Amino acid sequence: MQLSLLDIIVIGAYVTLIFAIGFFYRKWAARNTSSYFLGGRKLTWWLAGSSMIATSFAADTPLAVSELVTQNGIAGNWLWWNLLAGGMLTTFFFARLWRKSNLLTDLELLEKRYSGKAASFLRGFRAVYFGLLMNALVIGWVNIALASLLKVFFNVPQEYTLVFIGVAMALAMIYSSLAGFLGTVITDFLEFIFAMGGTTILAVMVINSDKIGGMTGLIDKVPSWSLDFFPKVGGADSSFGGSVGLLTLSITTFLAYITIQWWSSWYPGAEPGGGGAIAQRLLSTKNEQHAIAATLFFQVFHYCLRPWPWIIVGLSVIVLYPDLPKDERRLGYVMAMRDYLPAGVKGLLLMSFFVSYMSTIASQFNWGASYIVNDLYKRFINPDASEKRLIHVSRIAIIMVMILALIITPFLKNISDVWDFMIHCTSGLGLVLILRWYWWRINAWSEITATIVPFIGYTISVSLLDLNSTESLLVTVALTTISWLAVTYFTKPESLDTLQNFYSSIKPAGLWKPIRLSLNMEKNKDMNTRSLIICWISAVAMTYGVLFFVGYIIFRQWNNAFVMLSVISGSFVILAYQTKKNKIFHDSE
In sequence order, what are the beta bridge partners of 511?
A: 439
DSSP character for 245? B
* Res 562 pLDDT > 80: yes
Q: Percentage of the chain surpassing pLDDT 90?
A: 35
In sequence order, what are the beta bridge partners of 43?
A: 285
Out of 40-49, 94-103, 359-368, 499-508, least confident range: 359-368
356-389 confidence digits (pLDDT tens): 777 778 888 888 888 999 999 999 999 998 888 9
The H or E element that residue 152 is part of is helix 135-154
Would you state the pLDDT for residue 308?
93
Who has greater pLDDT, 23 or 246? 23
Where in the chain are the domains?
A: 5-424, 437-493, 495-527, 534-589
* Res 526 pLDDT > 70: no
End-to-end Cα separation, the chain, in angstroms: 58
* Res 462 pLDDT > 90: no
Who has greater pLDDT, 463 or 57? 463
Would you state the pLDDT for residue 514?
93
pLDDT bin (cut points 50, 70, 90) of residue 204 is very high
Would you state the pLDDT for residue 59?
66
45-80 confidence digits (pLDDT tens): 988 888 888 777 766 778 888 888 888 889 889 888
* Res 491 pLDDT > 90: yes
Who has greater pLDDT, 585 or 265? 265
| CA-atom Rg of the chain in angstroms | 23
- The CATH class of 5-424 is mainly alpha
User: How far apart, in whole angstroms, are the C-alpha atoms of residue 250 and residue 268?
Assistant: 24
User: Phi-psi region for residue 285, left (φ > 0), alpha (ψ -120 to 50) or beta?
Assistant: beta
3-class SS of residue 236 = coil
Helix ranges restricted to H, 155-213 = 158-207
Would you state the pLDDT for residue 239?
39
Please say whether the beta carbons of 140 and 412 come within 8 A. Answer: yes
Q: What's the mean per-residue pLDDT of the chain?
A: 84
Please say whether the beta carbons of 431 and 481 come within 8 A. Answer: yes
* Res 200 pLDDT > 60: yes
